[in-house]
Chains A and B, each alone.
Chain A
Amino acid sequence: MNKTLCALLLLLPALALADESAVKLRQGSNQDVVARNCAVCHSLDYIQMNSRFLDRKGWEATVTKMVKVMGAPIKEEDVPLILDYLDQQYGKPK
């Protein structure tokens, strides 16, 4: 990052570059499985944005759509791990 840009960032703290590395998912088991699979096609803020109102069945419908309709190459054994994480960290409060 050059000096001018740094100075501007200091001047304008409300502005940030559009950079998805700023997205920080909640820490939990299988977080890596989720990141590895979902971030192939989209930024992980899609998960944050759609929380917390889907129950496990709701998340399952979404993941199934990604696999069956959108062609996401998710291994079958990864699906339950992804659902565990989404339900625990971003699922509808029980």
Chain B
Amino acid sequence: MGINRRDFLRVGSGGLLLAGGGLLVPAWAKGAKLLQPAALPDGTRESALLEALPGKVPLIKRSYRPPNYETPPEYFREVFTPNKAFFVRYHLANIPEVEARSWQLRIGGEVESPLVLTLDELRRFETVELAAVCQCSGNRRGLFQPHVPGVEWSYGAMGNARWRGVRLRDLLNKAGVKKGALELVLDGADGPVLDKTPDFVKSLPLWKGLDENTLIAFEMNGEPLPHWNGFPARLIVPGWTATYWVKHLSSINVVSAPFDGFWMKSAYRVPVGKFPVVERFLSQETAANTPITEMVVNSLITSVRDGERLSLGKPLELAGIAWDAGYGIRQVEVSTDGGMSWRNAELGTDHGRFSFRPWHYRFQPRHKGRYTLLAKATNRIGQTQTFELIANPAGYHHNLVHQVAVDVV
């Protein structure tokens, strides 16, 4: 059953009641004017609004149906993104409200003994928790020049959370994967409005499914997953883009031939050899293109906003976050003069190699005027960010060095 308009309003009013109690809405969001990068398409900026989905704080609405809502940049001042502010991304609009009691996960196909697990049965496997960044492949798509069609995200189609769940590996071992198995086909409870529309089904190489960090999570930051983030259970593929993190996970089918669904064969693909990735999805690769896999190294300045006015005499606190595919952040360099000179920022607490890594750099502006601030991250295998966009048809892997201009007055 999909969420109809009436349910939407009903739950929505509950969200507002909470908001009225001051629990959900941070001070900056109350009556806040939505500031958006000028580089976004005009129509994107005009159609965006701060709107609250049921159970969420106001997020940047990109589309109502299917719901695509982006996390406002202020929330990235914290290393862990609050569940209520975590971005929402759906491809198809038939989104059931899954009940924990009736939810089941089926594991079948090329296995010795197929499994059907309830949530309670799933929880009996060994439970683990890890911090990992969930980032949409198309995060920052709206900043591509020239623009490419799609959901025109700014910086906020991502979040970092502590995911608690069980290892997919343990489930596969229990089911007994047969020899010759190649991929895992993953489906969630959400689906298309029309039967003819390809359901959002993804596949993952078997070896990635057997990675000790690939989880089926039922908790996020110590709470059950929010409905909009995949309740009651979703796949967690640390280091890989969120397209594989199937929400409302309902079945895992082990197959011995490459899965040929639309969302693998045609969507979420990048040109071969253009991006520096180590882990490739070879059974899905063609001569021309390959499925997107690992996230590229990236960083974001969070302590100051573009165009902000700061007073001379006060130290300027430059801070932000950096992340990559899980090799770990080795260094964040910052520039306060538009890229002419660079200094190392100090790295903050390490919450694990898949997490956002906080960093900061304090400096004393000596004179009034405009300061162009940049931050550039490098990971432990030497991958770094680009100064020139790597064009690709669907607008993935935007990791241009983030630049913010402030006026010291």
Contact = CB atoms under 8 A, between A and B. Distances in A.
Interface stretch (B39-47, B158-166, B347-355): B39-47
Interface in A20-69: 20, 22-23, 40-43, 45-54, 58, 61-62, 69
A8 B12 CA distance: 12
A47 B152 CA distance: 11
B277 interface: no
B43 A43 contact: no
A30 B354 CA distance: 49
Contacts of A20: 64-65
Contact of B194 (A45, A46, A72): A72
B19 A15 contact: yes
Interface string A6-17: 001101111111
B51 interface: yes
Contacts of B147: 53
Interface residues of B, number: 51
A56 to B, nearest CB: 13
Contacts of A17: 8-9, 12-13, 16, 51-52
A88 to B, nearest CB: 14
B61 A14 contact: no
B409 interface: no
Given A15-B25, A42-B66, A52 B17 contact: no
Given A51-B41, A51-B43, A43 B146 contact: no
Contact of A18 (B17, B47, B53): B53
A76 to B, nearest CB: 16
B191 to A, nearest CB: 12
B29 A18 contact: no
Interface string B15-40: 01101100001000111100000000
Q: Is the interface of B mostly helix, strand, loop or mixed?
A: loop
B30 A12 contact: yes
A71 B194 contact: yes
Contacts of A61: 149
B52 A49 contact: no
B58 A45 contact: no
Nearest to A51: B43
Contact of A15 (B50, B66, B67, B266): B50
Contacts of A62: 149
A48 B48 CA distance: 9
A20 B66 CA distance: 10
Contacts of B42: 51-52
B136 to A, nearest CB: 15
Contacts of A13: 31
A80 interface: no
B187 to A, nearest CB: 18
Interface string B142-164: 00001101111000000000000
A23 B41 contact: no
A58 to B, nearest CB: 7
Contacts of A73: 194, 196
A41 B54 CA distance: 21
B364 interface: no
A90 interface: yes
